[in-house]
Structure 1
């Protein structure tokens, strides 16, 4: 156990003691009686304490690391103090962590970064602490339904996946791509579909095999799935799991190409890494920090409850091209990137059928990235071999 882990275990034990005392009437914490300041900066020149919670380790080469890099960026801003906890499960454990950060650390802003934290956990704790602001990655905030101290932010990283798909479409010799996915939630399905649409825009015969592991972090299953795909002739693999590390390393060992996700994994596969879809949370968290330091809040609507953006808004970016990427692939990928940056093209423009033959987007119909229908996606595009199963 690391010193960091030991500290947070101790803090949880303290929190349990405080909650137990609360039950006996010795101490009371919550919305009605709390040590939280209403002032954004903590009052009297104190720094604004911001809590970040990660579902995995901060060095996972993936989702948690990408958020941790963003947290590290704003920790350098004068007036900001960052507290963090990693390896927090999508269970009541995250509620305990949030209460601990608020009551023991004095956090007035919390970023619970994992998808499964939102409902019921963030929503429950937000009701307890109406003066604390909760910003969740990926949750779909509903006005009049969710507490007004809850916000949602996420990026159209499928734009970067679309471009990565173009590179993959050029690289494949077998016309078989592989996608290792955790769960069939809308954000994952959107990445699978955009990656496939990008690949088929330059190579219409390409097909993508998708396998869902069922969990965000299943290293053994991820390795087995990558090996199985390689055995079946897949020669480019990508993913949407918390940490792509095992998948990238396994692809490299098998001598097939790979495309990363969340962060730059080029060092894990120096021969086969093509590119990847990366988050750029530093820019988004810096924007939030500046607004918070200016005493803006979700509660007075001076900070939007729903924040979205893509490549042009610096929510995401593309990993540098690997040595195996051809000049033609780079040219096509860069051309697509420029069209997306200038909003000249929509990824989801009809006619588009799903992989059962049903028309999901009609001919001449165009769905911009902001379309709410895309945030509720529950289908796989034509060309994907797989089923949407829970």
Structure 2
């Protein structure tokens, strides 16, 4: 009798286990059926020439990277900071591609040739190179018409200067930087024809001490406003220490020199990153040379300092409106170079190709461009 009961209990236990397994299996199948397609996140990487804490160029891109992550939760972003514009860039780009990143944003001009080399090895990865001019099937370039905001900031500087000497701390003598200096100078001259802009080259993107010292040399030479194409607030701090004024760059740097900074051209990369990643995900992206304008809000001006007059603000607003409406653009003739030679005839507008190859200074700039 006990043996028969024992067999009965064993049979019941076996039946229970079978039912449990079947129920669990159904549950797992249902979970698998309900698992959203493409749940694995798309990996997107960024490489920066400076540290993300530079308060300038790399910081602006990293703010946009974070914006991308918030706007597209199905995207996983990563970054590598302080990557020199040399052979090390090729190594970093290669490693990022090998780690499964399907989109890589290379955010400095000097990465251009390395992007091209690595892109050939990884045809299934899309590369976007900031400020460059070389493309491929899986490589696009992107930039903003910062010269428009530069011109407007020049108006502010031209109205503020008392001695008509403005200093410009410049990074490298490449077309992007030359273009910005020229636009800034034209803006200043539009409200103050007597302005001269003195240029000092640092041959750095991120070197706080060197860039601050360059600003000091310009202040010692009589400049009462300092503009810059650098990634640190050093030049602005130098201006504040001397009781002078500054035009910052990249981001709103007011907190670093609140008594000096009048305004400054700023970048807004976030919407571009979101739009581009969406297009790649939707398979609608095609290689292009994107050059966004002020109308697209990729470039703008930082908030004004308290020392900027309402008259100056009104002048800037009026000119900005004509730029945004595409009624006028910065490099519209007549424009002459340092030697007084007419480079752009009256009524003519400089082509994008010529702007991207800028290798001469407008009249009123004191400085040379090394070849």
Residue 364 of structure 2 is matched in structure 1 by: 383
Correspondence 1:1-150 to 2 at 5 A: 44-76=38-70, 77-104=72-99, 106-119=100-113, 121-141=114-134, 146-150=135-139
Higher helix share: 2
Task: Quote the Cα distance in structure 1 between the aligned partners of 2:312 and 2:166.
Answer: 16
Deviations 1:43-99 (A, max 9, x none): 843211101000111110111001101111111112111011101111121111112
Residue number among 282, 290, 303 corresponding to 2:270 in the alignment: 282
Deviations 1:178-222 (A, max 9, x none): 110011111101100000000000111111001111222233321
Cα deviation for residue 304 of structure 1 reads 4.2
Q: Which segments of 5 or more consecutive residues in structure 1 lack a partner in the other structure?
A: 1-42, 298-302
Task: Quote the Cα distance in structure 2 between the aligned partners of 1:389 and 1:92.
Answer: 23
Q: Which portions of structure 1, spanning 4 or more consecutive aligned residues, are displaced by more than 2 angstroms? A: 217-221
Count of matched residue positions in the alignment of Structure 1 and Structure 2: 334
Contact kept? 2:42, 2:75, Cα under 8 Å? yes
Matched, 1:343 2:326: yes
Task: Quote the Cα distance in structure 2 between the aligned partners of 1:100 and 1:225.
Answer: 36
Residue number among 170, 178, 181 corresponding to 1:181 in the alignment: 170
Residue 23 of structure 2 is matched in structure 1 by: none
Contact kept? 1:115, 1:137, Cα under 8 Å? yes
TM-score, normalized by length of structure 2?
A: 0.87
Contact kept? 1:62, 1:261, Cα under 8 Å? yes
Task: Quote the Cα distance in structure 1 between the aligned partners of 2:158 and 2:38.
Answer: 57
Residue 249 of structure 1 is matched in structure 2 by: 237
Contact kept? 1:280, 1:315, Cα under 8 Å? yes
Deviations 1:239-276 (A, max 9, x none): 112x2311111111111100111111011111111000
Contact kept? 1:152, 1:306, Cα under 8 Å? yes
Correspondence 1:205-284 to 2 at 5 A: 205-241=194-230, 243-284=231-272
Task: Quote the Cα distance in structure 1 between the aligned partners of 2:211 and 2:290.
Answer: 31
Q: Which segments of 5 or more consecutive residues in structure 2 lack a partner in the other structure?
A: 1-36
Task: Quote the Cα distance in structure 1 between the aligned partners of 2:56 and 2:104.
Answer: 21
Residue number among 183, 190, 213 corresponding to 1:194 in the alignment: 183
Contact kept? 1:238, 1:260, Cα under 8 Å? yes
User: Equivalent residue of 2:227, what SS?
Assistant: strand
Cα deviation for residue 313 of structure 1 reads 1.1
Matched, 1:334 2:314: no
Task: Quote the Cα distance in structure 2 between the aligned partners of 1:267 and 1:195.
Answer: 23
Contact kept? 1:346, 1:367, Cα under 8 Å? no
User: Equivalent residue of 1:292, what SS?
Assistant: helix
Task: Quote the Cα distance in structure 2 between the aligned partners of 1:78 and 1:263.
Answer: 25
Contact kept? 1:79, 1:293, Cα under 8 Å? no
Task: Quote the Cα distance in structure 2 between the aligned partners of 1:44 and 1:362.
Answer: 56
Root mean square deviation, CA, Å: 1.3
TM-score, normalized by length of structure 1?
A: 0.83
Contact kept? 1:95, 1:125, Cα under 8 Å? yes
Point out the more displaced range, 67-76 or 354-363: 354-363
